[in-house]
Chains A and B, each alone.
Chain A
């Protein structure tokens, strides 16, 4: 099992550009999550999907959209990137119970 995979690993955008961060898991998990991690702050939840076909806002959803493409894949889209979205983004997944498993992260810089 590859676990949780994320692409790309690194990305540099200019203000106003758009991009999609991809996440996939091969553990047959029901729930998937997108977090951002900023220096000096804990992980903050952007969006989550409790099950295939559902998505909900987390703590910091503004400026982002998500798609739960199927059970395996959960993508995060920035429609018009802003410097405040410079961060490290982590995707996670879990079964209905137990701990969340995290991907390796995408380091995004918005100039």
Chain B
């Protein structure tokens, strides 16, 4: 079946350093990938997305890289801040007969060390 997985369940990074969170996906038909951030006690919050026809997309302090050859997605956060501490989820989207299906990974907990 389809799955989206994360290589590391936890990641600790020194404040100010860069962090990289990885994600593997298995559905080659997925056309859209999203990264969400979830802070404790809150709902997931959209960070950045990328379409399958792109390799890289940059936002404010965040960059998403997509390698379709190995079905790998990564989220880079530059100059991390304490507020970046959260669980980060990747999600892949597939559309079947007009219905969208999002498959979420289990999440990586990022902890920023002051």
Chain A residues near B (Cβ < 8 Å)? 4, 31, 40-45, 50, 56, 90, 92, 99-105
Contacts and interface: CB of A to CB of B under 8 A. Distances in A.
B114 interface: no
17 contacts: A31-B100, A40-B106, A42-B91, A42-B103, A42-B105, A42-B106, A43-B44, A43-B104, A56-B99, A90-B44, A100-B102, A102-B36, A102-B44, A104-B43, A105-B41, A105-B42, A105-B43
Contacts, number: 43
Interface residues of B, number: 22
B46 A41 contact: no
A84 B66 CA distance: 36
B46 A99 contact: yes
B64 interface: no
